[in-house]
Structure 1
């Protein structure tokens, strides 16, 4: 582990530098002396707070939650794609090949994320040790409460990092103490991920008792980890512990999936352990629901507007934990993903944005109910482009695998943000949009999943939150519809059969509609052992919808503009599903080729070249290891590990 070997000197001395960032709150904006001993730090709540802030500072790097993790490392799923199609899908020197499951241990970003994550873990270990050795931690009074909260934060953030590490790499070294001068704990081998998750859940139980709910202490907004996030994270880990995973070797007493590699089996724990994990998840999900600190914002449009505006939702606190980014300094949501500004403009600066890394798919767009407000919030089939001094919205056309994710929308951002984009000239800009690591809809969807497993769609269970699985699912689904359409949305939920499998399938669908583009879908599909199946299903759906000339994709769409200058498209007018009865082309201002154009395209590049290339390392014709969704450990990390680390799943070292 490169970080651990390069930073042994930090085991007894912690350097806390000025964190040059701004955020929606200013808790990271603190100055400090250049060097302090751990003894000095542990006797001061102020300095211990700076040590905890350094953990948060590690979350703001490109290699962690500013760019890599929320935008790239959750790709590919059945509805989210990296921008690598055709020959690009095998480019293993970039994310384009690696996220199409054609991974290469030589990809430089593997070691970058590994080192950055273990740096955070090291800083968390140091902070935990500072609290444990501090006389303030047992002194009683307000100082003890503060130190306890700091320990709860460090435990929770460390758990979050380890959880993401095992979701990326599988079994990894577990290091729960700071580095020693004699290197005795520097060269660690892998720990089975089940052991890691079991440890994290114990740590989180402790953290829950130390942390406040958001808003309970004035400084603890949802830009801090709080009791609600610790509960929800523990539940997520418990469900992953109960779920399917590809293994380095078979584990005794575990069930093996039918879709599995012979050498590296996909397995899950036995029924008794799974029930234990479901009950544990239920306990913690119910705590979040019954406490009432976190709720659904009644307006899903307002929830995403607030995030783009860099404003915390202090009323509903739907976003249970947001990593606080800094306007102009950190955060690539809205730049590397989101609504596209193609090139320079007077309104948004010389650079525009890239927003190309993460794309959504035509079958996913087609899967939404026509009245579901999430469709047009999530799927953006247009871009902004300035021509001859006029900034105009332009439809994309036949781009079935390159729909932008509209959740991060430059058109919703503040004037302060716009001035930053203009001021940087032709350089990359940082949006400052917070990276959300848990939303209340996820809690409700996990709760619905657990309740369905334990008592079916409509049953009750000891320790539940006073609602059934169906009621929890209904909250998420119906929120996404305008008032006039809520009865129809409720009818959809009511019509789901009272059958565990049918209801689970509805949860899987809702998971996509609610969470697409946010970096979570892939990992839920993995624990359900549905990743490859759902990717194949999306490909089959595209072909079926393309071939259906009556009810499938139209070859052209028609639309009106909402202004006389014809710069803004009236999205409510777009004929996504063909010309409405009684309407003709002459009723519309403009038109554009759409997904159905592929039927008559001479080359049919989307169908014959791009579609087969998507996720080709996982579901292609020449898959080396069945269900290999994990990434390899970087060759450079292995070579620096003193022989303790190695690759598995058919990857070379």
Structure 2
């Protein structure tokens, strides 16, 4: 989107600030060079320096691709497009997502660019705190934004790398803080919660004082704090045992995932955990009580707006969006989205890889009347120059993420894409958090503290928060059954938690949430195995149709050719052999057997041997064979150049050898 698209470059090594524009959206009339102490005594110049922090978010190696689209795979819901022995161990995101990370050369770039954002945020924070006009309202806003952005980036480093250097001040001229070792992630997250509490007190709500959801606002500061508190309260693999912490294997009998003997998966003890849940609840209460953020009544329309590069000014469902520029940045729609198979006269260059995939068990887990399924899951692609919508043939681990869809994009986007012949930025914002996530976190936290009938200070019970999300998902005619009655039946704390685990998948699939949820719940291995078992059992027991029957709408445009209401997902139609009925078909997920037995050479079925095989060992005949490598190793290694550049202060852990 265009609303905050500006790059500003700092030359900090010389003690001077260089302000250089590379777009025409924000007015920049500053001199080309200025001493920092003068910059932070001007609101205008301070805003321009702050924009450089935002500019760091749009890069491919930060929030253009790596954080939301590469590092957040694999789960029971989302997979990278790697299903063979060779691809799941490749020296690329395909190996990395399958928990087989090698010394992929893009990891050091991600690390460096994330820390560059932190460095720039530190400069802004220090500059404003030392400013003569620090108490001006706008300067307070800018400080709140810098604190929130720094917290977001630190949190994403922690979620992906574990313990990292805690660099909370800019680099000193004497180099005294140039090289830092790792700090325990809980220490960092505790500080981030303090920073976000300050930020929330400084920032306006979205829609106030000219702030859109493309800038950090009070709602996002609160929402991010809740997300961090829940992560800290949850499980994560550790470099060593921590006194007072609880091992994953102590959680419940029969759990598949457990602690490694050397690198345990642990969470804080009950007292600290309850404290973090109470902190999260206070933050979520504040967002809900204010009422600034609401659910768009239509799930489909919310994603239509996102594809149209249009900010939701009515409901403000998105608490924060990383702003991208069309023809410049952003891989939403490219790496994740409905796949364009070839150059198209309608949509232009086949500028999409569809590398992020969804799974058949996830698709089949939806209630057939849940409207989110057909917005989220796209088991089809747009083929050839005609962009004809074509059903996939037996791709149970290759369903595209339909939330990003070229067919929903603007004429301006089509004009841009028709004029390029190589990969280019789609400009679709990365939505860092939606209000439905707030409601589901709230429901989870209240249930944990008080049970499903409990409530926070906003007065909403956990049951009501979950019901609000489900109500939107279903047509009005069935909401009494699918939302109200469904939620009312969740009378126990355990049953309600399991419902939250499911609901967050159905609501947030493809949005870089699921992996981190499963990690903090201690369910990453369990849910991965459950997904593979579900597929395996469905094939063995003939639960999937062998051929998928559907009809086409002759009056529709080619890219909407399939009559979606006609698709026979669950059983072949009785009239399938009637040529006058107009049925078309493709081989589908059940097409694995020959003469009643699973075909031993079927590569589609063989994929279950390899999916996430750096995390688990799975056999297509015998099922789960135990964790792989270091148990529950969900974190990434530090790149070799990151280690060599650290002057001996950093090293890998968790059994990584470089």
TM-score interval (norm. to shorter): over 0.9
Aligned to 1:3: none
Q: How far apart are residue 565 of structure 1 and its match?
A: 7.3
Aligned to 1:456: 451
User: Does the 8 Å CA contact 1:558/1:585 hold for their aligned counterparts?
Assistant: no
Q: Deviations over 1:358-385 (max 9, x none)?
A: 0000000000000111111111011111
Q: What is the CA–CA distance in structure 2 between the aligned matches of 1:560 and 1:479, rounded to whole Å?
A: 28
User: Does the 8 Å CA contact 1:355/1:404 hold for their aligned counterparts?
Assistant: no
1:211-230 aligned within 5 A: 211-218=203-210, 220-230=211-221
1:272-287 aligned within 5 A: 272-287=271-286
User: Does the 8 Å CA contact 1:17/1:31 hold for their aligned counterparts?
Assistant: no
Match of 2:413 among 417, 432, 457: 417
Compared with structure 1, are the counterparts of its residues 304 and 565 closer, same or farther at alpha carbon in structure 2 (3 Å cutoff)?
closer
Aligned to 2:340: 341
Q: Deviations over 1:276-306 (max 9, x none)?
A: 1111111000100010000000001100000
Match of 1:629 among 634, 644, 654: 634
Aligned to 1:394: 390
Match of 1:202 among 194, 201, 206: 194
Q: How far apart are residue 566 of structure 1 and its match?
A: 7.9
Q: How high is the TM-score relative to the length of structure 1?
A: 0.93
Task: Report SS of the residue matched to 1:484.
Answer: helix
Asked if 1:134 corresponds to 2:127, the answer is no
1:141-180 aligned within 5 A: 144-180=136-172
Compared with structure 1, are the counterparts of its residues 9 and 315 closer, same or farther at alpha carbon in structure 2 (3 Å cutoff)?
closer
Compared with structure 1, are the counterparts of its residues 343 and 492 closer, same or farther at alpha carbon in structure 2 (3 Å cutoff)?
farther
Q: What is the CA–CA distance in structure 2 between the aligned matches of 1:164 and 1:604, rounded to whole Å?
A: 41
Match of 1:445 among 435, 440, 448: 440
User: Does the 8 Å CA contact 2:547/2:572 hold for their aligned counterparts?
Assistant: no
Q: How far apart are residue 31 of structure 1 and its match?
A: 6.0
Compared with structure 1, are the counterparts of its residues 292 and 511 closer, same or farther at alpha carbon in structure 2 (3 Å cutoff)?
same
Aligned to 2:329: 330
1:220-369 aligned within 5 A: 220-258=211-249, 259-349=258-348, 351-369=349-367
Compared with structure 1, are the counterparts of its residues 41 and 538 closer, same or farther at alpha carbon in structure 2 (3 Å cutoff)?
same
What is the RMSD of the two structures over their aligned residues, measured on CA atoms? 1.8
Aligned to 2:479: 486
Aligned to 2:50: 52
Asked if 1:14 corresponds to 2:7, the answer is no
Task: Report SS of the residue matched to 2:387.
Answer: strand
Q: What is the CA–CA distance in structure 2 between the aligned matches of 1:286 and 1:565, rounded to whole Å?
A: 46
Q: What is the CA–CA distance in structure 1 between the aligned matches of 2:578 and 2:187, rounded to whole Å?
A: 62
Q: What is the CA–CA distance in structure 2 between the aligned matches of 1:200 and 1:367, rounded to whole Å?
A: 36
Asked if 1:597 corresponds to 2:591, the answer is yes
List alignment gaps of at least 5 residues for structure 2. 1-9, 250-257, 618-624
Aligned to 2:118: 121
Aligned to 2:4: none
Q: What is the CA–CA distance in structure 1 between the aligned matches of 2:443 and 2:432, rounded to whole Å?
A: 19
Asked if 1:466 corresponds to 2:459, the answer is yes
Aligned to 1:99: 97
User: Does the 8 Å CA contact 2:592/2:605 hold for their aligned counterparts?
Assistant: no
User: Does the 8 Å CA contact 1:18/1:32 hold for their aligned counterparts?
Assistant: no
Q: How far apart are residue 19 of structure 1 and its match?
A: 3.8
Higher mean displacement: 29-38 or 183-192: 29-38
User: Does the 8 Å CA contact 1:383/1:393 hold for their aligned counterparts?
Assistant: yes
Match of 2:400 among 400, 404, 410: 404
User: Does the 8 Å CA contact 2:98/2:614 hold for their aligned counterparts?
Assistant: yes
Compared with structure 1, are the counterparts of its residues 111 and 497 closer, same or farther at alpha carbon in structure 2 (3 Å cutoff)?
same
Compared with structure 1, are the counterparts of its residues 585 and 133 closer, same or farther at alpha carbon in structure 2 (3 Å cutoff)?
farther
Match of 1:86 among 64, 84, 87: 84
User: Does the 8 Å CA contact 2:344/2:384 hold for their aligned counterparts?
Assistant: yes
Q: How far apart are residue 489 of structure 1 and its match?
A: 1.3
Q: What is the CA–CA distance in structure 2 between the aligned matches of 1:399 and 1:616, rounded to whole Å?
A: 19
Q: How high is the TM-score relative to the length of structure 2?
A: 0.92
Q: How far apart are residue 588 of structure 1 and its match?
A: 3.4
Q: What is the CA–CA distance in structure 2 between the aligned matches of 1:11 and 1:368, rounded to whole Å?
A: 57
Compared with structure 1, are the counterparts of its residues 31 and 333 closer, same or farther at alpha carbon in structure 2 (3 Å cutoff)?
farther
Q: What is the CA–CA distance in structure 2 between the aligned matches of 1:480 and 1:268, rounded to whole Å?
A: 33
Q: How far apart are residue 190 of structure 1 and its match?
A: 0.3
Compared with structure 1, are the counterparts of its residues 377 and 565 closer, same or farther at alpha carbon in structure 2 (3 Å cutoff)?
closer
Q: Deviations over 1:468-490 (max 9, x none)?
A: 11110111112111222212212
Task: Report SS of the residue matched to 2:85.
Answer: helix
Number of aligned residue pairs: give it.
Answer: 627
Q: What is the CA–CA distance in structure 2 between the aligned matches of 1:569 and 1:94, rounded to whole Å?
A: 35
Q: What is the CA–CA distance in structure 1 between the aligned matches of 2:113 and 2:634, rounded to whole Å?
A: 22
List alignment gaps of at least 5 residues for structure 1. 1-6, 139-143
Q: What is the CA–CA distance in structure 2 between the aligned matches of 1:58 and 1:160, rounded to whole Å?
A: 12
Q: What is the CA–CA distance in structure 1 between the aligned matches of 2:540 and 2:427, rounded to whole Å?
A: 43
Q: Deviations over 1:605-643 (max 9, x none)?
A: 345521110000001257220000000011100001000
